[in-house]
């Protein structure tokens, strides 16, 4: 991993990328809401020190909320199908947080195993992820509970850290990262100064909720598919799906047709396991007819099933689901209850012995 | 780059009205190269589409030994199946597949086969039944127990007659109490009950079952009571699916994707799954 000192500030970095004709996606304000969007002017890119994280994750630029997979036309018995898979443009996602960069390394597994989803893979291949370590956290953040840190390099092509004087240092973590540095060589210089143990990020870490033990969480989940706690957790869940749509690792989708006269599109649209229709069979049978079962599926998929299948936790602790939940259902609290229950069980067992 | 969501175009060559609400299509691929190279195994499924209405998941109901076409049977219950129902010979639909695993036919060589089907659940069994009948000498006794709610709800009626007439098939048909007609020559009773009366021997046998969830539940119970080990019982799950490719997350049962790891499971494998299907 090479380290480069950035000779300028963030806005100048954005300006340099734009000047080189790069397609830059970065956090910018849409009204009062901070969202990722295409940057036309460098000043629109909000400096990373001014935010904890964006409202929506960067997922939508690689796995869009809606995306045509085929187009078709049908006139009487004449049906034609056209491929909607095209080469994607190169783009740079600038200013994303390490949790969002790590999310892509997690969902890469599901989109690439057995059958390769080129709609995802093509955009992923052509996207460079330039993340900035977190200078603040808020009460929702819990990345330290899922093996990440405010300055984790997982998934980033280039990861920026700051020294105590406010200078930016870029850690290049991939060929794409190197390529980007080479493109902007006039504003970067290679250095041997290393901020891997930067105290600033230890402080952010210290303000975060205490880390949970995912191994213990999984141990409990392995044994408690049936448990009255599920009803308790889900009793106030509205099933609105906000958590899934804001989550950088939720990847469920629907496939639907849209038509106009005698032609149309078949689209992949985001969907969520929190909706009752998600699993409803045409016969009327529904494997998950209650919200408690759907909420259980969400927690199980994140902390057990995905782990069983791909050996990864399907959560980066970004905290978006916590911030957005209209009824303050907090997945961190839910899984910490579980670990408490786990230790209670163990204590009881020990006492019986 | 290969678009895994792009369907083949297939022409409807034949339509058979199985029951008042169930139809069978015989399909051939429009692209000669696909028609030539397409292969599948009994138990696999596909995504069938009516363009403009969407895709639906059904098994391939014909046998892989019958080349040049595939068949599917479906009940008109939703948006896509109601659109498909109105299609006719010569119309073009979409097909993606074949997907999923298949019945472990090689492991069934030399064994006695017991097929237990209910309603339209006979469709995946029919693929395997004809596959086995076309390789008849490889198997021991073949017993088919098939039932439906009423006489008019029995699928594949001409084939039921053919099986009943074959000396190398032990065929038993039944309808639920109240579903019989005055000229009904089969049994009257629920499939699991008739299964118990039949009392097939588990010795050297494999039971393959598909039907409505409630029927499967009691069939599995009764087979166990008859002494069948859960490794001797094979069934096929039909969870709601969209992609069929292990991506969209709809058919998950625990870590299992029914579309990739299934749809065929032994009863032993089902026991290991969380009760979420």
pLDDT of residue A353: 54
Domain stops at, among A207, A237, A260: A207
Q: Is the pLDDT of residue A341 over 90?
A: no
If you compute the radius of gyration of chain A from its CA atoms, what whole number of angstroms results?
A: 22
- The DSSP bridge pattern shows strands B233-236 and B205-210 to be parallel
Contact B52/A at CB under 8 A: yes
CB contact under 8 A, A253 and B90: no
Q: Are residues A247 and A102 in the same domain?
A: no
Q: Which residue has the tokens 């969501």?
A: B5
Q: What is the DSSP letter of B33?
A: H
Q: Are residues A172 and A290 in the same domain?
A: no
Q: What is the DSSP letter of B247?
A: -
pLDDT of residue A338: 87
Residues of chain B with CATH 3.40.50.80: 105-236
Residues of chain B with CATH 2.40.30.10: 8-99
Q: Is the pLDDT of residue A197 over 70?
A: no
Q: Are residues A167 and A237 in the same domain?
A: no
Comparing alpha-carbon positions, the chain B residue that sits nearest to A253 is: B248
DSSP helix, strand, coil percent of chain A (3-state; round to 5): 40, 20, 40
> Which structural domain, as residue segments, surrounds residue A275?
214-352
Comparing alpha-carbon positions, the chain B residue that sits nearest to A260 is: B52
pLDDT of residue A201: 85
User: CB A339: neighbour CB atoms within 10 A?
Assistant: 17
pLDDT of residue B276: 77
Distance from C-alpha of B123 to C-alpha of A226, rounded to nearest angstrom:
34
Q: Are residues A238 and A163 in the same domain?
A: no
Whether residue B98 has a cis bond before it, omega within 30° of 0:
yes
Which residues in chain B have their CB less than 8 angstroms from residue A297's CB? 252, 276
pLDDT confidence band for A331 (50 / 70 / 90): very high
- Of B119, B138, B226, nearest to B176 by C-alpha is B119
Which residues in chain A have their CB less than 8 angstroms from residue B4's CB? 115-118
Residues 161-220 of A with CB under 8 A from B: none
Distance from C-alpha of B270 to C-alpha of B277, rounded to nearest angstrom:
10
CA distance B140 to chain A (A): 35
CB contact under 8 A, A118 and B2: yes
Q: Is the pLDDT of residue A198 over 90?
A: no
Q: Are residues A271 and A174 in the same domain?
A: no
Mean pLDDT calculated for residue range A152-174: 92
Is-contact B20 B152, C-beta < 8 A? yes
What is the CB-side half-sphere exposure of residue B201 using CA atoms within 13 A?
A: 6
Q: What is the DSSP letter of B232?
A: G
Distance from C-alpha of B95 to C-alpha of A264, rounded to nearest angstrom:
17
Average pLDDT along chain B, 277 residues, taken 10 residues at a time: 96 96 96 95 97 96 96 95 95 96 96 97 97 97 97 96 96 96 95 96 96 92 96 93 95 94 95 86
Which residues in chain B have their CB less than 8 angstroms from residue A114's CB? 245-246, 260
Q: What is the DSSP letter of A157?
A: S
pLDDT of residue A164: 82
pLDDT of residue A261: 87
Q: Which phi and psi angles does A105 have, rounded to 5°?
A: -65, -25
- The DSSP bridge pattern shows strands A2-6 and B170-175 to be unpaired
Domain stops at, among A183, A207, A231: A207
Q: Which phi and psi angles does B212 have, rounded to 5°?
A: -65, 150
Average pLDDT, chain A: 93
pLDDT of residue B188: 96
pLDDT of residue A283: 84
Distance from C-alpha of B244 to C-alpha of A225, rounded to nearest angstrom:
25
Most confident range (mean pLDDT) of A244-253, A342-351, B208-217 is A244-253
Q: Are residues A229 and A199 in the same domain?
A: no
Is-contact A172 A185, C-beta < 8 A? no
Q: Which residue has the tokens 């783009």?
A: A91
Distance from C-alpha of B273 to C-alpha of B267, rounded to nearest angstrom:
10
How many domains, chain A?
2
> What tens digit of pLDDT does each residue of A214-247 get?
999 999 999 999 999 999 999 999 999 999 999 9
Q: Are residues A218 and A318 in the same domain?
A: yes
Contact A256/B at CB under 8 A: yes
A86-108 burial string, b = 16+ CB within 10 Å, else e?
eebeebbbbbbbbbbbbbbebbb
* CATH number of the structural domain B8-99: 2.40.30.10
Which tops the pLDDT comparison, A149 or B277? A149
For A26, residues 6+ apart whose C-beta sits below 8 A from its C-beta are A14, A36, A37, A39, A44, A45, A46, A93, A94, A95
Alpha helix stretches (DSSP H) within chain A: 10-19, 98-112, 118-125, 175-183, 199-207, 214-223, 228-234, 242-246, 291-300, 306-310, 320-324, 331-352
Q: Are residues A147 and A90 in the same domain?
A: yes
Domain stops at, among A178, A207, A236: A207
> Could you give the angle at the alpha carbon of A185 between the alpha carbons of A184 and A186, nearest 5°?
95
pTM beyond 0.80: the answer is yes
> Percent of chain A, pLDDT > 90?
85
CA distance A195 to chain B (A): 39
CA distance B56 to chain A (A): 10
Q: Is the pLDDT of residue A105 over 60?
A: yes
Task: Count, in order, helices (H) and strands (E) of chain A.
Answer: 12, 12
**CATH ID of B105-236, from 3.40.50.10320, 3.40.50.300, 3.10.20.600, 3.40.50.80:** 3.40.50.80
CB contact under 8 A, B4 and A288: no
CA distance B103 to chain A (A): 20
Q: Are residues A178 and A323 in the same domain?
A: no
């Amino acid at each position: 991993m090479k380290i480069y000192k950035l000779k300028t500030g963030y806005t100048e970095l954005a300006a340099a990328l734009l000047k080189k004709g790069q397609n830059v996606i970065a956090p910018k304000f849409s009204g009062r809401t901070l969202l990722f969007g295409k940057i036309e002017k460098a000043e629109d890119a909000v400096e990373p020190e001014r935010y904890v994280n964006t409202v929506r994750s960067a997922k939508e630029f690689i796995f869009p909320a809606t995306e045509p997979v085929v187009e078709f036309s049908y006139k009487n018995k004449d049906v034609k199908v056209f491929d909607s898979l095209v080469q994607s443009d190169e783009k740079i996602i600038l200013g994303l947080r390490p949790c969002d960069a790590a999310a892509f390394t997690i969902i890469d597994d599901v989109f690439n195993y057995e059958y390769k989803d080129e709609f995802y893979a093509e955009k992923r291949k052509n996207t460079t992820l330039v993340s900035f370590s977190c200078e603040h956290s808020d009460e929702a953040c819990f990345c330290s509970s899922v093996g990440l840190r405010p300055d984790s390099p997982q998934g980033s092509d280039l990861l920026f850290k700051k020294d105590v004087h406010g200078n930016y240092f870029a850690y290049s973590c991939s060929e794409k990262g190197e390529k980007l540095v080479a493109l902007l060589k006039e504003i970067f210089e290679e250095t041997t100064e290393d901020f891997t143990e930067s105290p600033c990020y230890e402080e952010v870490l210290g303000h975060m909720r205490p880390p949970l033990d995912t191994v213990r969480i999984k141990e409990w989940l392995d044994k408690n598919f049936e448990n009255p706690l599920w009803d308790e957790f889900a009793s106030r869940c509205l099933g609105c799906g906000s958590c899934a749509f804001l989550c950088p690792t939720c990847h469920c989708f629907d496939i639907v047709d849209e038509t106009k006269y005698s032609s149309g599109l078949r689209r992949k649209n985001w969907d969520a396991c929190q909706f009752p229709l998600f699993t409803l069979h045409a016969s009327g049978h529904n494997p998950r007819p209650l919200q408690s079962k759907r909420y259980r599926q969400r927690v199980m998929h994140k902390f057990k099933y995905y782990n069983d299948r791909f050996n990864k936790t399907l959560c980066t602790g970004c905290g978006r689901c916590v911030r957005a939940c209209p009824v303050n259902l907090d997945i961190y609290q839910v899984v910490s209850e579980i670990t408490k229950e786990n230790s209670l069980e163990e204590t009881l067992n020990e006492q019986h012995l | 780059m290969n678009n895994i969501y792009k369907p083949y175009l297939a022409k409807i060559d034949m339509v058979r009205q199985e029951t008042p609400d169930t139809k069978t299509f015989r399909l051939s691929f429009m692209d000669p190269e696909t028609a030539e190279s397409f292969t599948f195994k009994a138990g696999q499924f596909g995504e069938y589409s009516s363009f403009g209405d969407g895709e639906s998941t059904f098994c391939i109901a014909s046998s892989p030994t019958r080349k040049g076409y595939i068949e599917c049977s479906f009940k008109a219950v939703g948006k896509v199946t109601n659109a498909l129902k109105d299609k006719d010979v010569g119309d073009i639909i979409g097909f993606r597949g074949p997907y999923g695993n298949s019945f472990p036919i090689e492991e069934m060589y030399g064994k006695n086969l017991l097929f237990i089907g209910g309603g339209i659940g006979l469709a995946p069994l029919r693929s395997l039944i004809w596959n086995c009948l076309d390789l008849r000498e490889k198997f021991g006794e073949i017993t088919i127990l098939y039932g439906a709610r009423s006489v008019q709800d029995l699928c594949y009626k001409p084939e039921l007659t053919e099986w009943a007439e074959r000396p190398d098939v032990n065929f038993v048909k039944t309808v639920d109490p109240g579903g019989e007609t005055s000229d009904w020559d089969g049994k009257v009773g629920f499939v699991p009950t008739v299964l118990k009366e039949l009392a097939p021997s588990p010795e050297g046998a494999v039971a393959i079952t598909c039907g409505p969830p409630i029927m499967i539940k009691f069939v599995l119970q009764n087979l166990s009571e008859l002494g069948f080990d859960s490794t001797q019982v094979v069934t096929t799950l039909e969870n709601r699916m969209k992609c069929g490719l292990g991506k969209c997350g709809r058919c998950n049962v625990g870590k299992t994707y029914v579309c990739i790891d299934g749809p065929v499971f032994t009863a032993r494998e089902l026991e290991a799954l969380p009760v979420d299907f």
